[in-house]
Amino acid sequence: MASLLLLTVFLPLVGAAVLAASPGLDYRKARRNALVVVLATLALSLFLLAGFDPDKSRPQFGFEDGDGSFGFPWMGQLGVRFALGVDGVSLWLFALTSLLMITAVFSSWESIKERAATHYALLLSLQTGLLGLFASLDVVMFYIFFEFTLIPLFFLIGLYGGHDRKRASVTFFLYTLAGSLLTLLGVIALVGVYYSHTGILTFSMPELTKGLATLKWDGWFEADSWASPQVVIFLLLFAGFAIKVPMFPFHTWLPLAHVEAPTAGSILLAGVMLKVGGYGLFRFNLAMTPLGAQFLFPWLAALSVIGIVYGALAALAQTDVKRLVAYSSVSHMGFIVLGLFSLNGTGMDGAMIQMINHGITTGALFACVGVFYERYHTREMAELGGLWNWSPLWAFFLILASLGSAAVPLLNGFVGEFPILLGMYRRSPPHAVIAAIGMVLGAYYLLWMLERVVFGPLKEPHVHGSDDSASHGAADSHGHGHAHSHARPIGWHEIAGLTPLMVLIVFIGVYPKPFFDRLRPATEPVVANITAEEHHAKATKPVTAFARPESAPTPPQPAAPATNVSPRGHSL
């Protein structure tokens, strides 16, 4: 199975190399070759999913030495190993990447005809980067894949995007690169702290997570100031991952990148790339520097709820459907971060499954936007209306994806956002209440968008490739259009790309147990580590005039004149 994981990660890169070697390949052959590769990769991913043991918390499908180390030496003197494996969290993100690649290829089926081989080669390269990132068990490998994903997406936006594609690609690249350099400093600091107090130089993520939790250095468990070790390292790691999420106020690169990216790029950017930020926060910030998260909780929770409400209000102000979906991602990713920083199992489980849900629903929304943009070459809601009359099936896809995104019960969004709110309510009720307001706003802007685009009389701009200048269907007195549309109907490839996502939106909402069963063995140790380090920090906190160890008995005090005493013990 370890060889199978290796094959799954690097098969798309092989396909990319073949396509890159034939840049003049006809677009029909290029898309067919790409489809074969992504279908094969999905089949291998599903085989790994079927063979995953949900009762194990350790990473699976990795090469293991006799001493329990994963992988094999790569840069031996530095302690860097070539180590791959997946646990319950990375497993689902791994499978999500493989699934959304199918949708991305089908969304490019007719829209990409020039330099098609290069386009599909970039998509496949991006897939290897994402699969390798989620399967990495070594910090150096994680960072290499982390940076590698920037390159193909930069060229996808810059070569195949909209009119402002150059600015969008450069902004995306500079933002994410600057943040990732700070993250690199945080990673090096983690390795340095562990080496300086154990004498062991390792970049193994499982070893670092376990070793830092039991580090024999009391200073590591003191997080009572901004200069505390865990707080400083937490902030360095947070810088890169917060930009990737993106959290408010680090989100400004995202709307432009989404709007200018080709449909396939938007699907993968929203569906998977943003999850890299959430995954990094879980794998590094929470698993390795949990006291930093506890110290910074008021700030982290505030940024999360601001992002939720701000993203929803910004979405309400949009007239471009794609830009509306882009701002909705800012709001929904705020929910995911809020669940992570609830620092309890309920919220964290909700955040993990919501990463999968958001990838499915937002990927579907961007694919639906791409379907009508390919025909009408506009995304302005003022120029569209009544598109149910053009394609009832497409309208059904858009409505179901929107309802899933709005967290309607019995659809996938609900099983993620409800545990997030519950987990945060246990820790901080005010933040949970504000987040719930953002949830209501989310339902409002999605239903508002559906009302304007899907329902009412048929309203079409000039149809690309049609001899008619416009088609404005006559409507009856009740506003139901019955005119014939001049746009071509939804294609088989678009149906094939969207149908699996629709099935999962319903399946996860009705029966999420298989997903939680595989997630929890991976999240429970992190939650337990957070609790243990908090207790360790309290136990090692020095006795001062203002704080006394919880276990220390209070000595008898001599009688003193009565005075007014404040709750902290200061005389008033």
Q: What is the pLDDT of residue 463?
A: 56
H helix intervals, 341-428: 345-376, 392-405, 412-427
Res. 44 pLDDT band, cuts 50 70 90: very high
Q: What is the pLDDT of residue 480?
A: 42
Q: What is the pLDDT of residue 443?
A: 93
Residue 545: is its pLDDT beyond 50?
A: no
DSSP class of 391: -
Whole-angstrom distance, CA of residue 367 vs CA of residue 25: 25
Q: What is the pLDDT of residue 311?
A: 94
Q: Which residues contact 171 (CB under 8 A, 6 or more apart)?
A: 253, 256, 257
* One-letter amino acid of 293: A
Residue 535: is its pLDDT beyond 80?
A: no
CB-based burial label for 413 (10 Å; 0-12, 13-18, 19+): buried
Cis status, amide bond into 525, omega within 30 of 0: no
Whole-prediction pTM value?
0.87
Whole-angstrom distance, CA of residue 538 vs CA of residue 454: 57
Rounded mean pLDDT, 73-100: 89
Among 418-432, 503-517, 548-562, which stretch is predicted with the lowest mean pLDDT?
548-562
The rounded percent of the chain whose pLDDT value lies above 90 is 60
Q: Which of 28, 20, 21, 16 is CA-nearest to residue 113?
A: 28
Q: What is the pLDDT of residue 111?
A: 87
For the chain, report the end-to-end CA distance as a whole number of angstroms. Answer: 69
Whole-angstrom distance, CA of residue 206 vs CA of residue 208: 6
Looking at per-residue confidence, does 449 or 461 come out higher?
449
* Vertex 145: Cα angle to 158 and 331 (nearest 5): 65
Predicted confidence (pLDDT) per residue in 336-348, tens digit: 999 999 999 999 9
Neighbours of 263 (CB within 10 A): 24
DSSP class of 216: S
Residue 476: is its pLDDT beyond 80?
A: no
Would you list the DSSP string of 84-106?
A: B-B-HHHHHHHHHHHHHHHHHHH
Mean per-residue pLDDT of the chain: 86
Res. 276 pLDDT band, cuts 50 70 90: very high
Whole-angstrom distance, CA of residue 165 vs CA of residue 12: 25
Among 280-289, 311-320, 474-483, which stretch is predicted with the lowest mean pLDDT?
474-483
Residue 76: is its pLDDT beyond 90?
A: no
Beta-ladder partners of 472: 459
Domain boundaries, the chain: 296-473+490-510
Residue 540: is its pLDDT beyond 80?
A: no
Whole-angstrom distance, CA of residue 523 vs CA of residue 57: 9
Tokens, residue 430? 């005010």
Q: Are 281 and 351 in contact (CB under 8 A)?
A: no
Res. 96 pLDDT band, cuts 50 70 90: very high
